[in-house]
Amino acid sequence: MRSDGGRDYNPRDYPPVAVTVDVALFAIRRDELYIVLIQRGVEPFAGAWALPGGFVLPDEDLDAAAARELAEETGVTEDSVYLEQLRSYGSPGRDPRMRVVTVAYWGACSTLPAPLGRSDAAHAELVRVSQIEEADIELAFDHEAIVGDALERVRAKLEYTALAARFCPPEFTISELRNVYETVWNTKLDPGNFQRKVRENRSFQQVGQSRLAAGAEPASDVRAQQMRFERAEASWDPADEASANDAMDSSLSQPEFLQDPGPARPRSGRPASLWIAGDSDLTLNSPIPRRRATRKA
């Protein structure tokens, strides 16, 4: 027993409180926004869908716990994704076992292997975010609220940071970058205005190379065909990315609510310049405003 603030403190006078971490990890596949979910293999909510996460160990900090739980339950390692702390959730009764406060994280990634259900997770899956927003899927605990908050954080940070590059490969085209904004915001952006804003931003830099978009047919002019030949000589195949995504999609064991994403959107065959981005937390000197009025069909 010790004195704390002028009052005697006895641990037995207070109910136990546990701390957990939960991770909302987003990725874009075939022009749709997905999130990684696990199917719980233990009680409470055994068999229900939830965010990957679990209890913080006595000797680890929160960031380490989030990375560990993500890897243990899905096989996705920290070095392949971008993770950032979201907020904490501690409403009484959010966990039927005891008083549990969770610290939620959100993340973004460009290349994500098929998640593997391990540890306390019976199964792991990439699920369309739209199915959570439309209440087609019920999540355990208060994870629907966490997903909603994480999604809004991602959508907001796209406006004033270079976060969108985290959804792209290390080198990307302006059209691929615009597709991130359109997919996450569920809207259509004017290609000309978007290209102008990207070129105005010091956050994005052109690297002076060109390639065809994944899955595109080459344009009929000689320059496009020559570019395709030169890139092939450098051991680069514009179909590699599409093939890798198709292989990943086909490897998923999809539950009934996860329908086939369908064919990829046709892309232009004109070679496009490649761009790179620096730190995703870098504030954009020319913010890209979110458009909420026009929706994708």
List, in order, residues 6 or more apart from 28 with CB less than 8 Å away.
34, 167, 179, 180, 183, 184
- Give which of 232, 240, 264, 261 is closest to 249, Cα–Cα: 261
Domain boundaries, given as residue ranges, for the chain: 2-158, 161-277
Could you list the beta-strand ranges (E) of the chain. 2-4, 7-9, 17-29, 32-40, 49-50, 53-55, 82-89, 99-108, 121-128, 204-211, 272-277
In this prediction, residue 15 has a pLDDT band, given cuts at 50, 70 and 90, of confident
For residue 27, the model assigns a pLDDT of 95
Q: Note the CATH architecture for domain 161-277.
A: Orthogonal Bundle (1.10)
Check if the beta carbon of residue 228 is closer than 8 Å to that of residue 216. no
Min mean pLDDT across 26-30, 72-76, 182-186 is at: 72-76
Check if the beta carbon of residue 49 is closer than 8 Å to that of residue 30. no
Check if the beta carbon of residue 38 is closer than 8 Å to that of residue 67. no
For residue 257, the model assigns a pLDDT of 36
Beta-bridged to residue 240, according to DSSP, are: none
Using the predicted structure, report yes or no on whether residue 259 has a pLDDT greater than 60. no
CA dihedral 239, 226, 200, 166 (to 10 degrees): 20
- Give which of 50, 43, 232 is closest to 127, Cα–Cα: 50
3-state secondary structure of 242: helix
What is the pTM for the complete model shown?
0.76
147-186 per-residue burial string, b: 16 or more CB within 10 A, e: under 16? bebbbebbbebbeebbbbbbbbeeebbbebbbbbbbbbbb
Name which residue leads in pLDDT, 265 or 129. 129
Question: Where is 230: in which H helix or E strand?
Answer: helix 222-233
Q: What tens digit of pLDDT does each residue of 106-145 get?
A: 999 987 766 666 667 778 888 999 999 999 999 999 999 9
Check if the beta carbon of residue 154 is closer than 8 Å to that of residue 106. yes
2-158 folds as: Nucleoside Triphosphate Pyrophosphohydrolase (3.90.79)
C-alpha–C-alpha distance, residues 177 and 197, integer Å: 12
Q: What tens digit of pLDDT does each residue of 163-185 get?
A: 999 999 999 999 999 999 999 99
- Give which of 183, 45, 208, 239 is closest to 175, Cα–Cα: 183
